[in-house]
Amino acid sequence: MSSFHVLIAGGGIGGLCLAQGLKRAGISCAVYEAAAEIVHSGYRLHMNALGGEALRACLPDNLYELYLQTSRRTPEREMSVMLDIHGGEIWTRPHIGPPNEGPRPHTAVNRRTLRQILATGLDDVLHFGQTAVEYEADDDEVRLLLDDGSSAVGDVLVGADGIHSVIRSQLLPEVDVIDTGMRGMWSIAPLTDDLAEVMPAALFDGFAIVTRGDGTISAIGVYDPRRPIAEAVADLAPGAEIGHVDPYVMVTYGSDLGAERGPALPDFANDSPAELHDAIRRAMQGAHPGLVELVERIDESTISPSAIRYLEVADPWPPSRVTLLGDAIHAMPPSFGAGANSALRDAACLVRSLEDAVHGRKPLLEAISEYEGQMRAEVFPIMRASADPDAVHSDHVPDLAG
């Protein structure tokens, strides 16, 4: 199998990590990404050991070190904290995932920075502006058809094309996207010294959720890198296209994830940034002065509406030359901050399975079947737990057994 070639539809977090891992393993691949570049989509991502250790396995050493150095400084308490609007602590609980300790545990990253790190060194295999449309597979090969009429042929196709995956729609058409109807918005405020002084201290812990007791919440997370990004890039990956990011606080406003019982919020999709800002200001009326100030400091150009959607859990399917990874097969609500971490986990696991196939240790379909079986055992329980309305309660212990 010396000419073994992997086609990857989608250059998000999972698809890029897979490409890095395959490159490291000496396996040829090509990534087809619909967007013209690495776009701004979302801000801070909570990281855990599942995703962080997958990055260690897939990235070259300098880029893994760059990920660590551009990760958020280690907070005093690596906890998820629930606060009332007066800043009073209601509960704390550990983040889910395997042990995450040591001098530089996995904390949080700026999403675009992580994607830029993941894209570094992939110029020869990463094709922007190429949208996957459908595939044709037989016993010997798989062909990926692209929207410009061209196509690419490989031994395996990996659908890493997110929740609305065209590859999954063809492979597993019965799996539905579930729209929770939950709506909200996310934004960032620059983290300045004077803002930090007035913010409740618990907002600097691992992650904070402010509940208003009316079925709406604000998730608040600090991003302040361990080392200035430009300095770390100059040292570890000179010339890499990785943008500067100042420290910030991510602020969301939306339905409580457990609040199929809470009030329906309006669909903010057509509101202007100023209207969205006013909505979150109104929600923080009477809150701790540091929370009111934080909301006041939101940069309006960063506010975007969001909707919570997830996938039905797929029944087991027969392995083939076409497989799936990340949100394309297990998009989940962000209850535990586990979606991107799980996509990275998949990437590292799939690299190991494809290495087994390429080096003749296992037949290809057996290797893919093992990858898919491990994903069902390790990620589907997190997916189920994330969609459980009880996930918002401190004493709720998610059942993560396979």
Ligand X SMILES: Cc1cc2nc3c(=O)[nH]c(=O)nc-3n(C[C@H](O)[C@H](O)[C@H](O)COP(=O)(O)OP(=O)(O)OC[C@H]3O[C@@H](n4cnc5c(N)ncnc54)[C@H](O)[C@@H]3O)c2cc1C
Residues near ligand X (CB under 6 A) are 9-15, 32-35, 45-46, 131-132, 160-162, 166, 306, 326-328, 334, 337-341, 343
- Give the C-alpha separation, 72 to 45, whole Å: 10
Select from 206, 303, 288 the least CA-distant residue to 251: 303
CB 193 within 8 A of CB 317: no
Name the residue type at position 64.
Y
> Environment class of residue 41 by beta-carbon count within 10 Å: exposed (0-12), middle (13-18) or buried (19+)?
exposed
- Give the C-alpha separation, 44 to 6, whole Å: 30
CA angle 125, 139, 30 (to 5 degrees): 5
- Number of other residues whose CB lies within 10 A of the CB of residue 99: 8
Between 130 and 369, whose beta carbon lies closer to ligand X? 130
Least Cβ distance, residue 338 to ligand X (angstroms): 5
Least Cβ distance, residue 147 to ligand X (angstroms): 8
Nearest residue by C-beta to ligand X? 12
Least Cβ distance, residue 193 to ligand X (angstroms): 26
Least Cβ distance, residue 225 to ligand X (angstroms): 16
Between 9 and 236, whose beta carbon lies closer to ligand X? 9
Select from 92, 71, 72 the least CA-distant residue to 83: 92
Least Cβ distance, residue 56 to ligand X (angstroms): 16
CA angle 271, 277, 278 (to 5 degrees): 90
Select from 313, 339, 308, 329 the least CA-distant residue to 371: 329
Name the residue type at position 268.
F
Least Cβ distance, residue 51 to ligand X (angstroms): 6
Least Cβ distance, residue 221 to ligand X (angstroms): 8
Between 14 and 154, whose beta carbon lies closer to ligand X? 14
- Give the C-alpha separation, 389 to 257, whole Å: 7
- Give the C-alpha separation, 372 to 169, whole Å: 17
Residue 285 has which token pair? Answer: 């009326």
How many Cα atoms are found within 13 Å in the side-chain-facing hemisphere of 262? 22
Least Cβ distance, residue 333 to ligand X (angstroms): 8
Residue 243 has which token pair? Answer: 């943008």
Between 144 and 368, whose beta carbon lies closer to ligand X? 144
Least Cβ distance, residue 199 to ligand X (angstroms): 20
Between 273 and 293, whose beta carbon lies closer to ligand X? 273
Between 55 and 294, whose beta carbon lies closer to ligand X? 55
Q: How does DSSP classify residue 116? A: H
Between 54 and 199, whose beta carbon lies closer to ligand X? 54
Between 38 and 236, whose beta carbon lies closer to ligand X? 38
Between 320 and 335, whose beta carbon lies closer to ligand X? 335
